[in-house]
Amino acid sequence: MSGKADAAISIRSVSKYYVSGNGKKTKALDSVDLTVNRGEFVSIIGPSGCGKTTMLKMVGGILGWDHGEVEVLGKAVEGPGPERATVFQSFALLPWMTVIDNVSFGLKVRGVAKPERYNIARGLLKSVGLGDFEHAYPRQLSGGMQQRVGLARALAVSPQVLLMDEPFSAIDAQTRLILQTDLLDIWSKTDLSVLFITHAMDEAVFLSDKVVIMGARPGHVTEVIDVDLPRPRNEATRRDSRFVELTGRVWDRLRGMITDPNADVAA
């Protein structure tokens, strides 16, 4: 698939400035182009401050931009919309609500009756491996379990586009590997288009169809790496020589920016 008509997310020539309290202008993004085709899984990786979260917020419709165009499913983004859902690093669950109420909260806001929303939430909790925890409160769950709830909550509203902002970075390394596989399993059964932010190179390669590498000061896209590893991906993928090679290529690009921050400053 290629071309504008197939794009789930289209970011074209987008630049973004932040203005601080004292009037100082910081250019956060410089003429960024990025496309996520329908059904694609795309990761963004880059040094701290290169504008990853800024881009995700723009696509989510909670932050504006200064130049260029941002479209989701062929329509200009003008604010948040029901076809997009976000999974946050901090889980962002409501602590006073049970798991099932957290998962079905978005449906409640949309006026879906309780039996129906519970029915949907139960199906999703089962699919993320938490079928027995609907009456638990977030504080009673591990970080990995809380993020499973976060994922189920995002999926409950049947989004077409899923935005994920370092969703596994607060989770221990072993659980993180399991969550990556589970996420791919869930994604493979849907038509979801995913934009996923991470700092972990192996995670980006394992999950994605494309890894977008960004540089900083101001944020810009330096390279897009196509991940030609077959799907479904599993533990054997992590030992595949092609996986090791692609992860190494991402690190080669990033290492230069980190050891020499001036190496990749946008013109």
Ligand X SMILES: Nc1ncnc2c1ncn2[C@@H]1O[C@H](COP(=O)(O)OP(=O)(O)OP(=O)(O)O)[C@@H](O)[C@H]1O
Is residue 174 close enough to count as binding ligand X by CB under 6 A? no
Please list every residue from 197 through 226 that binds ligand X, using CB under 6 A: 219
Is residue 241 close enough to count as binding ligand X by CB under 6 A? no
The partner residues of 75 in beta bridges, in order of sequence, read 72
Kindly tell me which residue out of 6, 12, 18, 181 binds ligand X, with binding defined by CB under 6 A.
18
Greatest extent of the chain over all pairs of C-alpha atoms, in Å: 57
Sort strands 41-45 and 210-215 into parallel, antiparallel or unpaired.
parallel
Residue 48 C-beta: closest distance to ligand X, Å:
3
Q: List phi, psi (to 5°) of 109.
A: -60, -30
Residue 135 C-beta: closest distance to ligand X, Å:
35
42 vs 120, which CB is nearer to ligand X? 42
Residue 7 C-beta: closest distance to ligand X, Å:
22
Is residue 158 close enough to count as binding ligand X by CB under 6 A? no
Reported for 177-180, long-range contacts at CB under 8 A and 24+ positions apart, including other chains, are: 177/238, 178/144, 179/144, 179/147, 179/148, 180/206, 180/207
- Total of chain residues touching ligand X, rule CB under 6 A: 13
Secondary structure (DSSP) of 131-194: TT-TT--GGGS-HHHHHHHHHHHHHHT--SEEEEESTTTTS-HHHHHHHHHHHHHHHHTS--EE
Please give the Cα distance from 206 to 105 (Å, whole number): 31
- The residues near 236 (Cβ < 8 Å, ≥ 6 apart) are none
Kindly tell me which residue out of 39, 49, 123, 256 binds ligand X, with binding defined by CB under 6 A.
49
Kindly tell me which residue out of 11, 34, 36, 50 binds ligand X, with binding defined by CB under 6 A.
50
Beta carbons of 99 and 132 less than 8 angstroms apart: no
| Contacting range for ligand X; rule: CB under 6 A; set: 42-50, 123-131, 200-208, 220-228 | 42-50
Residue 199 C-beta: closest distance to ligand X, Å:
6
Tell me the two tokens of residue 34.
Answer: 């990025």
152 vs 197, which CB is nearer to ligand X? 197
Kindly tell me which residue out of 52, 84, 148, 253 binds ligand X, with binding defined by CB under 6 A.
52
HSE toward the beta carbon, residue 64, CA cutoff 13 A: 5
If 0-12 CB within 10 Å is exposed, 13-18 middle and 19+ buried, where does residue 15 land?
A: middle
244 vs 265, which CB is nearer to ligand X? 265
Is residue 51 close enough to count as binding ligand X by CB under 6 A? yes
Residue 225 C-beta: closest distance to ligand X, Å:
18
Is residue 190 close enough to count as binding ligand X by CB under 6 A? no
Is residue 99 close enough to count as binding ligand X by CB under 6 A? no
Kindly tell me which residue out of 13, 25, 26, 261 binds ligand X, with binding defined by CB under 6 A.
26
Is residue 143 close enough to count as binding ligand X by CB under 6 A? no
Interface residues with ligand X (CB under 6 A) are: 18, 20, 26, 28, 46, 48-54, 219
